[in-house]
Amino acid sequence: MNRKPKLARTETQSRRISINFRDSYLYSIFELGLKSLRSSQEKGIRGDAKVIQLISMCLNLIHQCLTYDFSASLDETLEEPSSNQVN
């Protein structure tokens, strides 16, 4: 096996990955959490441990979507090389 070690990602690469995830998948995941929450609420809580656990997991998923770290994807140009000349 001839494996090359993986190089650490730069901040710019991480930001681009974060932006791609946010733009491509985050809203769909959020919608799935809401649909699952609505579905579990329709079944009714009535003390059923599995339904309560499902509601808890849905709420956690929705919370994670809403608290997604957007700061990592705000400015993808911070580490871009620049060609400023000082005269």
**What is the domain partition of the chain in residue ranges?**
11-71
pLDDT (0 to 100) of residue 63: 95
> 15: buried, middle or exposed (CB in 10 Å: 19+, 13-18, 0-12)?
buried
As a whole-number percent, the residues of the chain with pLDDT over 90 amount to: 31
DSSP character at residue 85: -
As a whole-number percent, the residues of the chain with pLDDT over 70 amount to: 67
DSSP character at residue 25: I
In order of 13, 30, 49, 64, 65, the CA distances from 83 in angstroms are 20, 40, 61, 39, 37
Give the residue-averaged pLDDT of 31-52: 83
pLDDT at 33 over 60: yes
